[in-house]
Amino acid sequence: MTNKNYTIKTASRAEVRIMIDWAAEEGWNPGLHDADCYHTADPDGFLIGYLGNEPVAAISAVKYDESFGFLGLFIVKSACRGKGYGLQIWKAGIERLTGCNIGLDGVVARQENYKKWGFKMAYRNIRCQGMGGGEPDEHDGIIKLSTLPFAQIESYDRPFFPANRSAFLKSWISQPDSAALGILQDGRLAGYGVMRKCRSGYKIGPLFADCPELAESLFSALKSKARSDEPVYLDIPEVNPAAVSLAKRHGMHVVFETARMYSGKQPDRSLHRVFGVTSFELG
């Protein structure tokens, strides 16, 4: 069905903040500064649907380059569901990413529907919850990420993502209310992680490292910067058993899951070195 009062437009930075507020209402626990970081990734990559003057639907369709894009923040306000507004904005998001291999993290309830649109499941991501605090790791290679040239961080990040994401990355690692740490081995960057303040507690992501031992050191160092009475979350690709083991060793338990899905072929990425996903919304 169509409604002449329903229009879809590119969201402004302020409207992306509305989308993030909706995500919080859905229980997705976004970061305090996600809107600004996400908007940096692709300022034209966020769509919002209005019924008259009221925003009622949203989706992000971030185009990293001509070959890869990512869908997220697909939300329709509860009172407006079942009226076709979601389908229209979904189609607009898909159309914006025409020609791209499209990734998304699908919640369980919508995975079968995404398959009907040609998306194929690659693996499960599981959100684990634990508590902050603990002793910081004393590994002498741990440094503040800000002490390194950005080109070095960008180079390390590149194998973990299907496209260049330098604009987003620069914003993500320097956002307020966060800690960004790297770990050096033999004088070179061998892992990094970011912990950001969220509506509830903190999320660690990404957490990339060349081996489980370095991931452990980074995770402990980051977690120690959160208060012991605050929750810490880590989104893990279940196909990396070392990441699952890390979460278990720290007493974390699964509270949420998604399916990483792609419209095309699953990108060749260093999943055995991914101990924490950057974001379910942007990949």
pLDDT digits over 187-245, tens only? 999 999 999 999 999 999 999 999 999 999 999 999 999 999 999 999 999 999 999 99
pLDDT of residue 1: 52
Tokens of 132: 């902050």
Closest CA to 96 of 12, 14, 10: 10
pTM of the shown model: 0.95
Q: Cα(133)–Cα(277) distance, rounded to whole angstroms?
A: 21
**Percent residues over pLDDT 90 in the chain:** 94
Res. 29 pLDDT band, cuts 50 70 90: very high
Instruction: List the Cα angle 20/279/88 in 5-degree steps.
Output: 55
Average pLDDT, the chain: 96
Q: Kindly report, residue by residue over 127-178, the tens digit of the pLDDT.
A: 999 999 998 877 889 999 999 999 999 999 999 999 999 999 999 999 999 9
Distance CA 60, CA 83 (A): 20
All structural domains of the chain: 6-104 (3.40.630.30), 127-276 (3.40.630.90)
Mean pLDDT over residues 175-190, rounded? 97
List of residues 6+ apart from 137 with CB closer than 8 A:
216, 217, 218, 220, 221, 224
